């Protein structure tokens, strides 16, 4: 397949178009030309699918200090207190700003309506159209970016790798497969906002684009990655053969939903005093235990004791989706089981999105500021994207002012084109499916040294194999998945203890030096 190359220069390159990337774009548009690159349709991001809401201390009964304490507690002792402080203190300003820009959150009369989710001690979850909060925030940010001017977007473009020259990130190589074109993009600063890595697992709530691309690219570029062992599995994803693994919001349990095993017995009181409102990692492992004990592949989320009209109005999107799949959530229990949902680790940044590679910044789920510790508090992720997206934008602008030259990266067309003649590599789909199964079974909810070593050995074999493959999106994506999976597995082997979302059956206690963070660098 013949590809052409094109050199492009811009002031700021943002890779990823979710909440964090778009909030950064708003900031950077005030400081120069901005290019936002997404590998699929603009609407394909975890931000767009976020149902439950955004956590913020804005209600009359709430305080910033209480939100801080809840976040620290959920993080199981590994949150960085300064990062959490920044999140909860700046969060209200970012939300008020969104409302000023036109975001329409649900209200009770003239006041904002708040709900409660697991591990929150107050009702502080703002939502929009019941269960379409992410979509509403994205709509608002897209409109704001559009009216800001100076922002261009390239969709359906896969970022192959970052360009590093003399230790600095000076751009990226972007492939437009449908146009048979490779863009060599030069930028004064590059910001990664590529989202998470849920697609590494057989069961996940994440969209198909969440393949750990930013983490893998950053690692190859010499960036530090941290806390990669901490993967959060959402307790309640729809379980129905042949149906999508649709997320059933935490807010459903916040509004009174009960978890029951296949024998119809409510079981959470045996695992935690907060029952269904226990931290996510506790609820997930409880469901996992019940499934093993009953020999079943699912449990049930029961909402039938609640008012039917209330359920349909509060969770319209979930109600419609389940109804289309033959389940009436107002009159019958919903079959659920855990699914990979969020990674607490990522590219190591400071409180301004700065990485150890000059010129490279990161925000959102791709990044790790330490705000989530070992276990993310529900609905803190959208807030994190807003708060740290804005901060990363400010920091990238400051960096660019100091390094104002816009030069083409020293990268030849020949170097970029190498390997592009190959068509879609044979066996890519098979390896991808096998990887997802391997990660689910060996590096999933419950882990141990033996199975982690088996996984790592297989991942290394695939890593060697992929070096000899072609260079289309499917291959790049799989290469990134293998890299990200190996990072998670290596980190999980290193942490010989159980903290938050990381549980080792061979080390059920926290272990020695459990506060030490796991840092990986090429």
**How many distinct helices (H) and strands (E) make up the chain?**
15, 20
Question: If DSSP codes are grouped into helix, strand and coil, which group holds residue 432?
Answer: helix
| Positive or negative torsion for Cα 154, 155, 158, 164 | positive
Question: What letter does residue 59 receive in the DSSP assignment?
Answer: S
The first and second tokens of residue 170, run together, are 């000076």
Backbone φ and ψ for 352, nearest 5 degrees, come out as -120, 20
The first and second tokens of residue 498, run together, are 């159980």
How many Å apart are CA 517 and CA 522, to the nearest integer? 17
81 in catalytic set: no
How many Å apart are CA 315 and CA 128, to the nearest integer? 10
Q: Annotate 177-207 with b (16+ C-beta within 10 A) or e (fewer).
A: beeeebbbbbbbbbbbbbbbbbbbbbbbbbb
Question: What letter does residue 198 receive in the DSSP assignment?
Answer: G
DSSP structure string for 261-288: -TTS-B-GGGT-TTGGGS-HHHHHHHHH
Count CA atoms within 13 Å of residue 473 on its CB side: 19
Contact, 50 vs 250, CB < 8 A?
no
Taking alpha carbons only, the member of 333, 75, 357, 388 closest to residue 217 is 357
Question: If DSSP codes are grouped into helix, strand and coil, which group holds residue 416?
Answer: helix
Rg (CA), the chain: 22
Could you list the beta-strand ranges (E) of 355-454.
360-362, 367-368
The first and second tokens of residue 292, run together, are 């093993």
Catalytic residue among 280, 314, 376, 490: 280
Provide the CA 192 distance to its chain's centre, in angstroms: 12
Catalytic residues: 280
């Amino acid at each position: 397949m013949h590809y052409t190359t094109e050199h492009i220069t811009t002031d700021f390159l943002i890779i990823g178009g979710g909440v964090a990337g778009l909030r950064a774009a708003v900031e950077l548009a005030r400081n120069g030309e901005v290019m936002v690159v997404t590998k699929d349709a603009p609407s394909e991001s975890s931000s767009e699918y976020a149902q439950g809401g955004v956590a913020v201390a804005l209600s009359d009964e709430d305080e910033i200090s209480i939100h801080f304490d809840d976040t620290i507690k959920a993080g199981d002792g590994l949150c960085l207190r300064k990062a959490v402080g920044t999140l909860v203190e700046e969060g209200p300003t970012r939300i008020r700003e969104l409302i000023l820009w036109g975001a329409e959150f649900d209200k009770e009369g003239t006041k904002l309506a708040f709900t409660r989710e697991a591990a929150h001690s107050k009702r502080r979850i703002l939502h929009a159209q019941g269960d379409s909060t992410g979509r509403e925030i994205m709509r608002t940010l897209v409109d704001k970016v559009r009216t800001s001017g100076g922002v261009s977007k390239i969709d359906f473009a896969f970022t192959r790798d970052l360009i590093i020259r003399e230790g600095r990130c000076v751009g990226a190589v972007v492939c437009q497969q449908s146009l048979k074109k490779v863009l060599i993009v030069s930028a004064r600063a590059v910001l990664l906002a590529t989202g998470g890595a849920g697609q590494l697992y057989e069961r996940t709530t994440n969209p198909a684009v969440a393949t750990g691309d930013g983490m893998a690219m950053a690692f190859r570029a010499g960036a530090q990655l941290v806390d990669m062992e901490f993967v959060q599995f959402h307790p309640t994803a729809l379980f129905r053969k042949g149906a999508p693994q649709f997320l059933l919001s935490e807010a459903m349990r916040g509004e009174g939903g009960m978890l029951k095993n296949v024998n119809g017995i409510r079981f959470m009181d045996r695992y935690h005093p907060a029952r269904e409102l226990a931290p996510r990692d506790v609820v997930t492992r409880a469901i996992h235990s019940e499934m093993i004990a009953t020999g079943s592949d699912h449990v049930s989320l029961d909402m039938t004791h609640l008012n039917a009209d209330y359920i349909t109005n509060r969770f319209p999107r979930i109600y419609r989706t389940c109804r289309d799949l033959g389940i009436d959530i107002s009159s019958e229990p919903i079959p659920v089981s855990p699914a990979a949902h969020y990674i607490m680790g990522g590219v190591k940044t400071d409180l301004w999105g700065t990485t150890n590679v000059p010129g490279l910044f990161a925000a959102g789920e791709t990044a790790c500021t330490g705000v989530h510790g070992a276990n993310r508090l529900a609905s803190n992720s959208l807030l994190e994207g807003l708060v740290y997206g804005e901060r990363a934008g400010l920091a990238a602008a400051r960096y660019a002012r100091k390094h104002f030259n816009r030069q083409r990266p020293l990268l030849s067309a020949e170097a970029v084109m190498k390997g592009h003649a190959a068509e879609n590599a044979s066996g890519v789909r098979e390896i991808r499916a096998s990887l997802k199964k391997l990660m689910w079974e060996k590096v999933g909810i419950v882990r141990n040294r033996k199975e982690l070593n088996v996984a790592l050995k297989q991942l290394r074999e695939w890593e060697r194999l992929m070096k000899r493959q072609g260079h289309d999106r499917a291959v790049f994506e799989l290469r990134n998945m293998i890299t990200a999976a190996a990072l998670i597995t290596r980190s999980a082997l290193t942490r010989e203890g159980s903290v938050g979302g990381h549980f080792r059956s061979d080390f059920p206690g926290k272990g020695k030096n459990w506060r030490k963070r796991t840092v990986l660098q090429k």
